Amino acid sequence: MLSSVPLNIYRQAESFNLLRGFLFRNVVAAMFLENNNNLLHTAAKLAPPSQLYRIPGAALQMQREWQWFKAVESMVNLGIERRHNKDKLTPLDYFKENHKELRNNGEKWMKDTATSCSVVGALIVTIMFAAAFTVPGGNDQTSGHPIFLKEKLFRVFLISDAMSLFASTSSVLTFVGILTSRYVEDDFLYSLPTKLIIGLSALFLSIATMLIAFSSAMIIM
């Protein structure tokens, strides 16, 4: 039964899942270990570097650590998460203490990524907004309509330009949401990774449609 301690420290997920199926899993979870720590305190320790370095980015490493802590917490009885160890720390307080540096690194990594992507997104917004009013071929002097209005490629240009503008705007707003986040532990679980994926996806879409708009404009010209 004490083998649950090293599997918790070294993040042996397969062994942990096996332990969850044991009849006496709550007895194991309630056992007191070194420094009056229980199993949840052990889960609150920082993973070894060999485990952390498998995941790129400090923010995603923080997400993985929080997922592991929540997984162990789901198998313990109510009340265990409020027990104190020798240093008068609950498992949650112990987790915050051990992951303070990783959380700060994750916040810096997220902010640096969001700042860089926001600059790119803002540039695309500026370019595509200007391109919408300086259409290829210009406008007819009498009617004011674009000269190539009836061309199919011109419609491709307009649609791709609009899509790029909306996608880049969405990405910038998403990255602003990342920059203004609270960066508490819970944010690293779902909120920040989801915003990052949405922002990057919207940015890649805006770049792709910008290239389509550029190509169609060149062919028209």
pLDDT, one tens digit per residue, over 73-105 is: 877 766 777 788 788 888 889 899 989 999 999
Query: Amino acid letter at 103?
Result: R
pLDDT at position 139:
66
Q: Which two tokens stand for residue 188?
A: 């690293």
Q: List, in order, residues 6 or more apart from 172 with CB less than 8 Å away.
A: 118, 121, 122, 125
Please say whether the beta carbons of 29 and 38 come within 8 A.
yes
Each residue of 173-205: pLDDT tens digit? 999 999 999 898 889 989 999 999 999 999 999
Summarised one tens digit per residue, pLDDT across range 8-45 is: 555 555 555 545 555 444 545 555 555 567 778 778 88
State which amino acid sits at residue 217: A
Structure tokens at 155: 């419609």
Q: What percent of the chain lies above the pLDDT cut of 70?
A: 80
Token reading at 21: 């199926």
pLDDT band with cut points at 50, 70 and 90 for residue 54: confident
